[in-house]
Amino acid sequence: MTPPQEKITRDQIEAKFRELTGDVGDEVEGAKSQAVTVGLAVAVVVVAVVFLIGRRNGRRRSTVVEVRRI
């Protein structure tokens, strides 16, 4: 058996935890901003495609009425 080492304090645990999670936190923030940008771009493209499809269908289904005087 090895003799007991000095006790680990709460401050030591917190410092080590911050050291380990510090890099991960920065990467998560970068990934979040990138995901928001991609999500917004996809949303704009989807809205544009839906608009163009609806516009095309509206033109195709439009009724043309001619009025002639006799």
pTM more than 0.85: no
Domain membership of residue 20 as a residue range: 9-70
pLDDT digits (tens, 9 = 90+) for 40-67: 999 999 999 999 988 877 776 667 788 8
Within-domain flag for 61:
yes
Q: How many helices (H) and strands (E) does the chain have?
A: 1, 0
Asked whether residue 1 is assigned to any structural domain, the reply reads no
**pLDDT-based confidence at 2, cuts 50/70/90?**
low
2 in any annotated domain? no
pLDDT(1) > 70: no
| Domain contains 13 | yes
- pLDDT at residue 42 in the model: 97
Length of the chain: 70
Condensed to tens digits (0 to 9), the pLDDT of residues 3-32 reads 667 888 999 999 888 888 777 777 777 788
Q: How far apart are CA 54 and CA 61, in angstroms?
A: 11
Is there a domain that residue 4 lies in? no
Number of domains in the chain: 1
